[in-house]
Amino acid sequence: MATKEERSEMGSDENAERDEEKWVTHYSSNHQILLVGEGDFSFSLSLANAFGSASNICASSLDSYDVLIKKYKQAKSNLENLRKLGASLLHGVDATKMKFHADLGKRKFDRIIFNFPHAGFWGKEDNAHMIEMHKKLVRGFFRNARGMLRANGEIHVNHKNSAPFCHWNLKELASESSLALIQRVNFNKEDYPGYQNKRGDGSRCDEPFPLGESSTFKFGFFHRAKKVCKATTSLGSIWNKSQHFQNIQMQMQLWPNSSNFNYPQRNQSMNRIPLHDRLPSAIPTRNQYSRMFDENLNGVVQTSQRNSYDVAYFVPERNFGADYNVLGGMRHGLERQMMEVPRTFNGDIDYQYELHRISILNEHVRRLLACQEY
């Protein structure tokens, strides 16, 4: 026989298990959840079964209880099971006026869900009048739901992606109520065991309708949407930076060492972007040295200016038709000039002057490369 302490410990373990948070896709057992426009209440029951409790669920329908039982074969059974699990059930709730409902007006929710809103079958779905009826329903829902949402809460609308349903433009309708789209994810019926989507109207009201490709549209207040957008942007920035540093590391591995600066790096490919703006010469073009070095060094600096990811890439050496790296290209160009241009006393002076120019620009390029690493 268990002692009093053992029974107390067992009881605390059971409470811990009972209070353990459980998730079903976007929904937590700790969320206060409102479901609007339920058909046979199978979606609500699916969540409740997954949570092991429905104490956090308030499920509502436009139809009265008597109408529901007549329309849907499983409605009575589903409602009974929800009651046993502690759900709050409401009937005769108009989604476009629900904020005035006696049992909902003062309540706030973490998630408000409207599964496949539909204004009824009064014509073909692609009829302009029908589309406006559907939009009016969703617009009224957003206007009411926003006042029943907690600060960090979300409004979820499960909706078809195909035409003409995509023409409802949920994002625009939500913006009219100062709501912004936070996220859009694929809706998979299989994620909610037991859920049966229903037509809900007409002689075939208890029959399912084809879902096709559908999505869960998540809406929230603008400030929450901005936070999510900022977080997403930050993650994207971190990813881009990681890719940038990986590229730099790869390119550094391809750079020649000091013993082979004179040789071009062959068999390297890159997406060459044509550069139309040339860097003006640091001094007036006075001789062959200046002209040839200006062409070489323009390629170097323009590559550095092009964008932050191309600084470490190899650039084309324009005079010789081969690919050279930054330092190798300058040095090879200088040595080629020494061989091809006649050496005179004045030429030696110009040569020394060009060496001075290169040393200055070389340091400038190194600083650019160092800056890009940060």
Residue 199 neighbours by CB under 8 Å, 6+ apart: 121, 205, 206, 207, 208, 209
* Tens-digit pLDDT profile for residues 182-194: 999 999 999 999 9
* Tens-digit pLDDT profile for residues 197-250: 999 887 888 999 999 999 999 999 986 655 555 555 555 555 565 555 555 555
pLDDT of residue 246: 55
SS3 96: coil
Q: Which residue matches tokens 């900022």?
A: 230
With both helix axes pointing from N to C terminus, report the angle between 288-306 and 326-340 in degrees, rounded to the nearest 10.
170
CA dihedral 75, 77, 78, 84 (to 10 degrees): 140
For residues 260 and 193, the answer to whether their CB atoms sit within 8 Å is no
Strands (E), the chain: 23-24, 27-28, 33-36, 57-61, 88-91, 109-115, 149-160, 179-186, 214-221, 315-317, 322-324
Strand 322-324, strand 315-317: pairing: antiparallel
Residues paired with 33 in a beta bridge: 57, 111
SS3 204: coil
Strand 214-221, strand 149-160: pairing: antiparallel
Q: Enter the tokens of residue 286.
A: 């006075």
- Which parts of 20-121 fold into alpha helices (H)? 42-51, 65-71, 75-84
- Give yes or no for residue 173 having a pLDDT over 90: yes
* Tens-digit pLDDT profile for residues 79-121: 999 999 999 999 999 999 999 999 998 999 999 999 999 998 8
What percentage of the chain carries pLDDT values higher than 70?
Answer: 57
Rounded-to-integer distance, Cα 146 and Cα 141, Å = 9
